[in-house]
Structure 1
């Protein structure tokens, strides 16, 4: 088989071919391209139906006031249950609020107001004293927790410390009921045991929620201020109820 060499193109022919190529538009052939109807187009542009419905369900702007109040009261009641049965749970940390601590603080301050040793006082400074001790103490403990490297937020810590006053509020109520009876030594022993038990309960409940948020090597530094916080409140309950009993006995 004989191979014939292809004729060589001259430089003038190459220049003419390049000139013809450059004169053609860049996208000359794209106008003739058409998308066939048989080729499926991937992807969806539809809007999910459930998203709008979920936003409407979670909105409480059109909710009646009664339902809003009942929902908040149920949430506070659930947190009270978590405090009375303390266990490692994120319920107080996840849905925090300050309604429960405010109710407990006002209730405890009002009950301590009636236990004043000197009945000539109007009780105003005593109410303010309890209010300042509880909230200022909770703020100091929270700041101490944050400085130690705790992962809990400021208001979450206030929520837990405030809700864990519930056992001490129950202790104050029991002490007031015991004072209604004519007990001397037995009444004091009952009040002392109740206050000690509720103090231990409050300390244990608060540490059960707050201990995991602290570094392992600094848990003792975070628990010690909590111990002092509830100890001061317990001492106020025991001392004021004891003073009220002595005042009533003299009268």
Structure 2
């Protein structure tokens, strides 16, 4: 079964909007685990507008499932945070400093040598590495040449097209997934996956190991409750 890693950034956004510690991100993460999520994802940014660096330390001390830290490895503070906390996985994302949310994958051809160095740095610390990429076969192939363990397919384009021409929407992701198989990469996916499009994606992408879902899942929890929401996302991954 494809694992569900819950991105709790939006929980932190809500907390930060009022100050204090309500809602508590550690308590939310532990609830996600208790309700069946197999992992917790955070994406700290330099301005700490949602997840704070201290949250990472607090979460590392408490959660028992897989811990995935996403972020820009061009920030030394991010590198230090990951090396110190040694999560299960680090996902390398090419964010700009003022970027609202992730909106593209790495050019793994242009940045192959740099990424190779970063992959080795984290792997030497015992951390599994995933590189955020667009669903382009050449980028997948070049990612394999960095020595990374996995890639994460950026799924916004699929989500935007889903419901209009589902076969066309999934086609580049299927090709990218097959290429990942061929070059020996593990496969993750994330961004704008939700209860409407997740089951179809999971059914049509071979050997999908993990999805990371935050914004849609937290929004659904406002209507359905967190436990019921996680139950429905897990069901979509079993369908």
Quickly name the TM-score band, shorter chain normalised: under 0.3
TM-score by length of 1: 0.22
Higher helix proportion (structure 1 or 2): 1
Q: Which has the higher Rg, Structure 1 or Structure 2? A: 1
Higher strand proportion (structure 1 or 2): 2
TM-score by length of 2: 0.23
